[in-house]
Amino acid sequence: MERSTIDLWVGLFVIAGLGALTILALKVGNMGSFTGAETYELSAQFTNIGGLKPRAAVKSAGVVVGRVSDITFDNEKFMAKVTMNIEKRYKFPKDTSASIMTAGLLGEQYIGFEGGADDAVLANGETIKLTQSAVVLEKLISQFMYNKAAEGGNSK
């Protein structure tokens, strides 16, 4: 076989390999969703974040508006401090409330924003005051059991 034919085939091989990697990165992985949209940072404090993880989605009305960038523990207030990167094109009023929700019964957790009525909007680095923590299933069940038990005691 001639040299140039071999070169051609090897070139095709390398292109196919790199193409496969690109497909994996963009179509299969999450590189496509990070198109370098400019973001600003907001933070919020929760008494309990449940199973929230960094890189979890921040949604408002079901639309993804940003991602959780960092979760730390505030050792003075004993609360979790969640830092989020929100896309620049989305603005939220000062009295926006952030709550930790679960997608489906066993799905992953995300932060839901509910916009308020304030005219001023949250700027880079500000903290969301109104927060609602994750629902802890164990607490819910124990509360339910306790109520049931109390009811049983009353009826006697």
Residues that bind another protein (CB under 8 A): 3, 6-7, 9-10, 12-14, 16-18, 20-21, 23-25, 27-33, 55, 57
Q: How far apart are CB 11 and another protein at their closest, in Å? A: 9
Closer of 112 and 115 to another protein (Cβ): 112
Closer of 28 and 120 to another protein (Cβ): 28
Q: How far apart are CB 50 and another protein at their closest, in Å? A: 18
Q: Return the exposure string of 2-41: e unless at least 16 CB atoms fall within 10 Å of the residue's CB, then b.
A: eeeeeeeeeeeeeeeeeeeeeeeeeeeeeeeeeeeeebbe
Bridge partners for 99 per DSSP: 112, 132
Closer of 17 and 116 to another protein (Cβ): 17
If we measure between CA atoms, which residue out of 37, 65, 78, 80 comes closest to residue 122?
Answer: 65
Q: How far apart are CB 134 and another protein at their closest, in Å? A: 19
CA distance 29 to 66: 17
Closer of 9 and 73 to another protein (Cβ): 9
